[in-house]
């Protein structure tokens, strides 16, 4: 776990619940948003849920890499560009704003983006407009798409 002191395990039900709560807020405050730009890979699942809840049918992806392994950050690298029709007044979706490096880099190429993440950490929160929950900077968030359910034997057999 490297420099992380704790872990937060997130269930699919929690992802669904956070997305629905975020959708209510976004719809109330920004009903004008008609496009989603999902940051792959972590933003794909929440983007799909938000698109459904907000009835947004125009979805694009951008591939960005900033991690090498679990906790070693690299330079931010754009792996897949996005269609420029999504460069303005778009809802940018990601799973987590950690240090904010990825979002800062992406926002330089966008006009008036609205950023939503499921989770944010103190260093990343400055670049996020909507988030579901804030976690401590030293917490590693384990999303359901990064984990697997396994059988746990009973304490007494």
Catalytic residues: 94-95, 98
Q: β-strand 58-68 against 72-80: which pairing, if any? A: antiparallel
Whole-angstrom CA distances from 118 to 2, 5, 33, 79, 152 are 23, 20, 18, 22, 28
**Omega before residue 98 within 30° of 0, cis:** no
**Omega before residue 69 within 30° of 0, cis:** no
């Amino acid at each position: 776990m490297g420099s992380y002191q704790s872990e937060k395990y997130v269930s699919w039900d929690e992802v669904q619940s956070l997305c629905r709560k975020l959708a209510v807020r976004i719809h109330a405050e920004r009903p004008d948003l008609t496009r989603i730009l999902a940051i792959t890979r972590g933003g794909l699942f929440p983007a799909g849920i938000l698109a459904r809840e907000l009835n947004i049918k125009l979805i694009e992806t951008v591939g960005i890499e900033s991690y090498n392994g679990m906790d070693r950050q690299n330079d931010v690298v754009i792996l897949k560009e996005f269609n420029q029709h999504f460069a303005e007044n778009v809802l940018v979706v990601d799973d987590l704003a950690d240090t904010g490096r990825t979002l800062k880099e992406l926002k330089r190429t966008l006009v008036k983006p609205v950023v939503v993440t499921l989770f944010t950490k103190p260093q990343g929160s400055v670049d996020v407009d909507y988030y579901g929950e804030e976690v401590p900077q030293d917490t590693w968030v384990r999303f359901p798409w990064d984990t697997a359910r396994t059988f746990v034997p009973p304490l007494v057999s």
